[in-house]
Amino acid sequence: MKFHLDIVTVEKPIFSGIVKKIQISGSEGDMGIYPGHVQLLSIIKPGIIHIFHINQKEECLYVSGGVLEVQPSIVSILADIAIRGTELDKKRALEARKQAKKYLKNKSKFKNKEDVLLNIAKSIAQLRVLEIIDKFKNR
Residue 9 belongs to domain with CATH number: 2.60.15.10
The answer to whether 48 and 129 have CB atoms below 8 angstroms apart is: yes
My answer on whether 100 and 126 are in the same domain is yes
My answer on whether 7 and 33 are in the same domain is yes
The answer to whether 130 and 88 have CB atoms below 8 angstroms apart is: yes
Q: Which range marks the domain in which residue 21 is found?
A: 3-85
Domain boundary among 66, 85, 104: 85
How far is the C-alpha of 69 from the C-alpha of 44, rounded, in Å?
Answer: 10
Domain boundary among 56, 85, 114: 85
pLDDT (tens place) for every residue of the chain, 139 residues total: 899 999 998 889 999 999 999 999 888 889 999 999 999 999 998 888 999 999 989 998 988 889 999 999 999 999 988 888 777 667 777 777 777 777 767 655 556 667 766 776 677 777 777 777 666 666 5
